Structure 1
Amino acid sequence: MNHASPAPETIAAPPVPGPGGGTGRSTAAGEPDDVREVLVDGGRRRAHVHAALTPLLARQLNLTAVTGALEAHGVDHFVVRGMDDRTPVVGVGEEDRVAALAALEKLGTAATCYVSQVLPKPPIISALRDAADPAAWADLQRARALKLTWFRVDPTARLVLGAAYGCEVEFWRPDRKADVLRAPRRNRMMPAVSMAGVPVEAGEHRFTRLASAAKPGRRFRTRPEFDHLLPDDIDFPIDVVYTWVDGADQEWQRRRADLKGEAFHAEADSESRYINRDELKYSLRSLHLNAPWVRNVYLVTDRQRPAWLDLSAGNVFLVNHDEIFTDRDALPTFNSCAIESQLHNIDGLAEHFLYLNDDMFFGRPLAPQTFFLANGNTKFFLSQNRIPLGPITSLDSPVDAMIKNNRRLVEERFGRTLTQGSQHVPYPLRRSILAEIEREFPAEHAATVRSRFRSATDLTITYSLHHYYAFLTGRALPGHVNYGYVQLAVPDLVARLKRAEARRDWDTFCINDAFSTYAQLQQQMAVLEPFLEAYFPVPSPYELAGPR
């Protein structure tokens, strides 16, 4: 099973008017508020509209519909741990085939969905047929596995979740000599289950890594063979930390002006570093959609709060600089490296957490194994850029200068020369390692803390030093994500964003800006905001209610 799931199968064009009219009115979580037709891969599909749609919710709804239909007709079944985190799988004994097909056909007649054969693989893969058509079921009487697919969309029809989240039903063959039911294909756990086994109930996290054991959800009927913790299962909490600033805040501007000094490099003090385009709102949407296993979210700010932020969700917290800086004389600070050096002091923060800038986004559903190993070790993602050897020069960018500082410490401590930075992806970190770095390099760490603006003497800890230090002490490994990076100050910005929206094949991506000025902000927002709204159309629980 891949840690990074493939992209959603499509992004819909504007909805085609259907029988329901497409009102988009809000309903209780999970309940569709309408059925409309949408264009999917050039064809029309009837889709259920959900105001609070997420990939995990689509999976839950489809699995619940299938298991509910089987239960209602008294068909013995068990949820299987399949090979794809997005696709639920249900096992049924071959002897119950007739009853199961009857139950599913009845469901298909009433549920506005599609059916397709999975095993044996049909000549046309994923050829979906209307599940209300009896002829579709007549062709499935000998199938070893089939799939029921619901198309589910948000009210704008920008987010379309279809076949990848459809529920598969597979028929397990009895082997009476061995007293087992044998699976028709591989799964993540067992090739067979006992025919005499007593059914049990297990939480959703047993069947998909998109669900968290820390967030109780519905329990599903399964077999004891599937209710086990595997060696690569992650059962520790994972939090997310953002650092955020609103550079348009006049009080913040005054504090900065009072202490502003000469920057080492023009980029270090560029106004574009502080421009607020509400990327944080959309980054949180991407988190809510694509990393539902995250426990708590911490927003580290300088006495600021986004106007749209809703703290009532219960797992999002504002953290001011003075709550985490042990050296209060270092405040106020406008140096992200100094702020990042104190993240391990956040009260209540999990040992394992992801650190994000507000311009980082989760592009599609990801398992926590993308970033961490089950033994607690972190992963890191090296960039292809190389840092020049030699001392810091006036030609070095601020980041290169800081990595050279990291390099000196790594060489002195481990005898290894680092030459690469990191990709701008969510950084997997551990509180204990950050605290250990502070103890191991006290003078350099303290100098970074006291540096109020980016300086050539700083360390860049979250971006670089943590990863190399953890790796060279046996607590991190290189990882891989399909990563995208978009620089706003490029002439083909529109084309790049259109490509990203159309393909949605990035696990994570960053929309960065180090050179633009406020004069360019309005023009960029005219392009960026529609892109982010189209890519992440579903509001997160962290947003105050407002007009869509």
Structure 2
Amino acid sequence: MIALRVYRLLPSPLRRRLVQMLPAHRRIGLVRTLVRPSGGDTRHPIGSRVTVDDGGVRTRAEVVAAATPLEMWHRNLTAVTTALDAAGVRYHCLRNDDHLRSTVAVVADQRDAVRDALDSAPALSGAEVRTVKVQPGRHQPDLAPTEVFQVWFPVTDPRAGLVLGSRFACEIEFWTRDGDVVRAPRHNAVIDETPVEPEPVRVAAALLSHFVPEADDHTYGSRRDLAVRAFDRVGFPIDAVYTWVDGSDPEWRDRKRAALGEAGGPLHAVAANSSRYHNRDELRYSLRSLHSFAPWLRRIFLVTDSQLPSWLDPHHPMVTVVSHAELFADLGGTSSFNSHAIESRLHRIEGLAEHFLYLNDDVFLGRPLLPTHFFHANGIAKFFPSPAQFGLGDARPDDLPVNAAGKNNRRHIQRQFGVTITQKMKHTPFALRRSIMYQIEQVLQADVTETARHRFRHHGDLSIPSALHQYWAYLTAQAVPGDIEYEYADLGHPSTPARLADLLARRHRDVFCLNDTDSDERSMAEQEAMLADFLPRYLPFPAPFELPDDVVAERRKLGATALWRRSYRPIPGTRRAAPIDAPTLPNNMLNTVTDFTAVRRPDG
């Protein structure tokens, strides 16, 4: 990316001067042009092979329509074990210290047989094989460095931007005989030496990597003394929750307009601004990032104001859409336009796991992560304080709503625990516990309920899952600070295209947030074009809960509320809804669904 390198070499004052030559709404476009990927929009056919950069090494990768790191982990390990089985080579699988790679152990006197299998096995046709040197563990001082074979199938997307390659390789290591035992050539998390004659067993893939979900039904050959569960493996279910709105939906705009008319007083300038509700399809790509980089998640809940994204399959079991009517049933089931209010009710989602991640749709996982990035195996949550502060003093009507909520949080933390908080949290997935949110609601019932009643952001709000929960959990010994590689980019800042280009080239962050705080219509158009360049390149592979493009094109002709109405039916006696089985839907059900949506409109 020559333009990006040249842009970076310019002195900062010159870069700023270059950007400031244009009107504000065109500055992003200038930088975006300077840092646009050099490959253009070339698309390679599925099944072809192209040259890619795989961890700094040029290699040939197969172009595929879809793939995930977990699928490649399995593909590489399965191919190796299949080849060794066919060659009659005895082996055992064990946990690699790097959970994104797998390990197969073979006794050293079978090295030549392994080499022959790697060269000739049909199961490994098209695989990359390399030899790498590894060091013994620090408790193995008598062992010399040795070599392991790495085997993997490199794949890429049609634009050759994302490469799933050696990072997910299967490693074949060679154990040496020493009398009645065999000794490992390097450290592993279970045992350094073990009897020569093993008791063979099949083990669940989840015992071989913390990245593999508990529900994964793959098994691999191992030995009894290695088939152990690690103390630091997260075994409890973890869900994800999103809140989402499509501000371009005509029916939603009508609901918002009616609610503003009933607001009963002036609002802060950013409490109901358009950028807060603007939809750029970020949710689609944020969900892709979960599917690809967090396969250990159990379910995803999407909270909406009776809206449905055009690309989302409402029948897919992985994703459950929850309406405001359900969350606010005890308050009349009306629409809310206040994220603080909606967030105050997340723990009421039926079927939600005790441990869950809460994400805004502008937050993305940047690379494969383990559950332990967010929770310890004993259930304790992690949180990520930001150096940003929300200011001293009490909340005032002219405070930014996020700062006012932080000050209100502080007031309660001071009363409950006698300490003073000043820091915000980073814009990452928030690791939450349902029981803590219930506890906060029980102790602070009046303030939590008042927050839920504010249909637009208000200076009296609490920000529970994005800040209060973290401090409350920490001060009750249920959460600890954690570390995460993180990038925050303001979409309206002229430097953002260059930062996104760097992120695309390096893919070096665990999490990134692409936030829009307060942009005008012309700036939002530039930002939309920028994200349309970046997100499909960073996350090119569709998730299984996305509908085909031709179906999406038709559904986009309808508003998000109309799609909801066509896709969900009410559950009698409740404010909950269930997906409609469209092929068997009776005609009279359509009228029922329409009536169900109408009763939740503030003007209805």
User: Is the shorter-chain TM-score for this pair beyond 0.5, marking a shared fold?
Assistant: yes
Deviation at 1:192, TM superposition (A): 1.8
Contact 2:173 2:185 in 1 (8 A): yes
Deviation at 1:114, TM superposition (A): 2.7
1:351 to 341, 354, 377: 354
Partners in 2 of 1:489 and 1:71 — Cα distance?
Answer: 56
Q: Compared with structure 1, are the counterparts of its residues 380 and 42 closer, same or farther at alpha carbon in structure 2 (3 Å cutoff)?
A: closer
Partners in 1 of 2:391 and 2:258 — Cα distance?
Answer: 35
Contact 2:238 2:297 in 1 (8 A): yes
Deviation at 1:39, TM superposition (A): 5.1
Deviation at 1:246, TM superposition (A): 0.6
Give 1:51-200 correspondences, 5 Å limit. 51-107=65-121, 111-119=125-133, 144-176=147-179, 179-200=180-201
Deviation at 1:180, TM superposition (A): 2.0
Partners in 2 of 1:144 and 1:503 — Cα distance?
Answer: 28
Q: Are residue 422 (structure 1) and residue 425 (structure 2) matched? A: yes
Q: Secondary structure at the match of 2:60?
A: strand
Aligned to 2:531: 528
Partners in 1 of 2:222 and 2:151 — Cα distance?
Answer: 19
Please, which runs of 5 or more residues in structure 1 have no aligned partner? 1-11, 25-32, 122-141
Q: Stretches of 4+ moved more than 6 A in 1?
A: none
TM-score by length of 1: 0.87
Deviations 1:383-411 (A, max 9, x none): 01123222224563211111110101010
Deviation at 1:348, TM superposition (A): 0.8
Q: Which moved more, 1:55-64 or 1:44-53?
A: 44-53
Q: Compared with structure 1, are the counterparts of its residues 42 and 383 closer, same or farther at alpha carbon in structure 2 (3 Å cutoff)?
A: closer
Q: Which moved more, 1:48-57 or 1:370-379?
A: 48-57
Q: Which moved more, 1:450-459 or 1:253-262?
A: 253-262
Give 1:241-280 correspondences, 5 Å limit. 241-260=241-260, 261=263, 262=265, 264-280=267-283
Give 1:30-69 correspondences, 5 Å limit. 33-38=47-52, 40=54, 44-69=58-83
Partners in 2 of 1:465 and 1:444 — Cα distance?
Answer: 12
Q: Secondary structure at the match of 1:521?
A: helix
Partners in 2 of 1:310 and 1:68 — Cα distance?
Answer: 36
Partners in 2 of 1:40 and 1:544 — Cα distance?
Answer: 30
Partners in 2 of 1:263 and 1:238 — Cα distance?
Answer: 40
Aligned to 1:136: none
Q: Alignment identity in percent?
A: 43
Partners in 1 of 2:94 and 2:55 — Cα distance?
Answer: 30
Deviations 1:348-394 (A, max 9, x none): 11111100111110000000000001111111110011232222245
Q: Are residue 513 (structure 1) and residue 516 (structure 2) matched? A: yes
Please, which runs of 5 or more residues in structure 2 have no aligned partner? 1-36, 136-144, 553-604
Contact 1:245 1:304 in 2 (8 A): yes
Deviations 1:269-319 (A, max 9, x none): 221000000100000111111001111111100010001111333111110
Partners in 1 of 2:453 and 2:295 — Cα distance?
Answer: 36
Q: Are residue 474 (structure 1) and residue 477 (structure 2) matched? A: yes
Aligned to 1:23: 45
Aligned to 1:236: 236
Deviation at 1:16, TM superposition (A): 13
Deviations 1:136-171 (A, max 9, x none): xxxxxx964221233211233221022211211100
Deviation at 1:108, TM superposition (A): 8.5
- Counterpart amino acid of 1:37? T
RMSD: 2.3
Q: Are residue 503 (structure 1) and residue 506 (structure 2) matched? A: yes
Contact 2:381 2:480 in 1 (8 A): yes
1:291 to 280, 290, 294: 294
Q: Compared with structure 1, are the counterparts of its residues 43 and 348 closer, same or farther at alpha carbon in structure 2 (3 Å cutoff)?
A: closer
Q: Which moved more, 1:256-265 or 1:444-453?
A: 256-265
Deviation at 1:104, TM superposition (A): 1.8
Contact 1:299 1:319 in 2 (8 A): yes
2:305 to 268, 280, 302: 302
Q: Compared with structure 1, are the counterparts of its residues 41 and 516 closer, same or farther at alpha carbon in structure 2 (3 Å cutoff)?
A: same
Q: Compared with structure 1, are the counterparts of its residues 94 and 40 closer, same or farther at alpha carbon in structure 2 (3 Å cutoff)?
A: closer
Q: Which moved more, 1:104-113 or 1:323-332?
A: 104-113
Give 1:321-400 correspondences, 5 Å limit. 321-329=324-332, 331-393=334-396, 396-400=399-403
Deviation at 1:489, TM superposition (A): 0.9
Partners in 2 of 1:385 and 1:524 — Cα distance?
Answer: 24
Partners in 2 of 1:419 and 1:151 — Cα distance?
Answer: 47
Partners in 2 of 1:16 and 1:486 — Cα distance?
Answer: 24
Q: Compared with structure 1, are the counterparts of its residues 491 and 538 closer, same or farther at alpha carbon in structure 2 (3 Å cutoff)?
A: same
Q: Are residue 320 (structure 1) and residue 323 (structure 2) matched? A: yes
Contact 1:501 1:535 in 2 (8 A): yes
- Counterpart amino acid of 1:407? R
Deviations 1:3-27 (A, max 9, x none): xxxxxxxxx975999xxx9421xxx
Q: Which moved more, 1:33-42 or 1:323-332?
A: 33-42
Q: Which moved more, 1:222-231 or 1:112-121?
A: 112-121
Give 1:403-418 correspondences, 5 Å limit. 403-418=406-421
TM-score by length of 2: 0.80
* Bigger share in helix: 2
Q: Secondary structure at the match of 1:313?
A: coil
- Counterpart amino acid of 1:359? D
Q: Compared with structure 1, are the counterparts of its residues 40 and 380 closer, same or farther at alpha carbon in structure 2 (3 Å cutoff)?
A: closer
- Counterpart amino acid of 1:379? K
Q: Secondary structure at the match of 1:268?
A: coil
Partners in 1 of 2:122 and 2:218 — Cα distance?
Answer: 23
Q: Are residue 204 (structure 1) and residue 205 (structure 2) matched? A: yes
